Amino acid sequence: FLCRSCLFMVLHVALQAAVFGEYTWEVFVYCWELQFHLLLLLLPYLLLAGNLGCFLLCSRANPGTVTKSNAASLVKVYAYDGVLFQRGLVCPTCTVEKPARSKHCSVCRTCVHRFDHHCVWVNNCIGASNAGVFLLYLLSLTATAGALAAVTAAFLIPVLLLSDIMHGTYLDAKGQEHPVEIPFLVQHLFLTFPRIVFMLGFVILLTLVLGGYCSFSLYLALTNQTTNEWYKSRRWGGSPHLPSQPQDRPLIYKNIYSKGIWRNLKEIFNPPTVLERKKK
């Protein structure tokens, strides 16, 4: 754990503090004066509380560390697909047999069961034991950014309507008169509420980026894949629908871990154990 850095965790918390500081100091006050519904104004705070809870759980949880004491039992949880995961391989650093779907993390200096990736924002690996919490963390973070953007936009739009500037005109550098367009409206808002508009732009961008990442993470969860497996399978030109190939032909990856959408999603929040696999 000596290689871990708290830099991104501190940056993560600092950005949230800055955004919510601006929201509380200006947006909340202005919206309260405009008689916005209290529940709407408190929604970002409620989502923030849930997100911070998931953040703490995800960063402090054991992601599923493979040790000499549990390696023998974890080897029996998932079958080896023979392409991405081969039976009998030993981690040269941990000196333990590598269970299927595991990988050694050079940052945490340990092997992680059902390794997904190492997330610098939570300063922890994402594995079998905290993948579900990480998914909730992503969803709540996206929802928080979206709620902030929605409330802030709901404040700025009435401001434009009340100012009646949308029906006005302006003079350009040559003295010609033009009707007000969107760039002019954005400039006007930025000059009037610079911090609020800057925050709105940031949370909108954050919502779009996180929304895309959430969609990808949900796809992986519903198909029972990890980021590590999805990335490695690209090299084999694999598809979860392709049949197994004869030994004399190039190996083609096949996702043998998918059990259907609902069972895949359930596995994220309730990882299988050795006993559960034996029952099946």
| Catalytic choice (58, 94, 105, 119) | 119
Q: Are 93 and 109 in contact (CB under 8 A)?
A: yes
In terms of DSSP bridges, do strands 169-171 and 177-179 run parallel, antiparallel, or are they unpaired? antiparallel
Q: Is 119 a catalytic residue?
A: yes
Q: Alpha-carbon distance 27 to 193, whole Å?
A: 10
Backbone angles phi, psi at 101, to 5 degrees: 75, 10
Tell me the backbone φ, ψ of residue 83, rounded to 5 degrees: -120, -65
CA distance readout (Å), 155 to 148, 149, 211, 235, 275: 11, 10, 23, 49, 55
Q: What are phi and psi of 148, to 5 degrees?
A: -60, -45
Residues catalogued as catalytic: 119
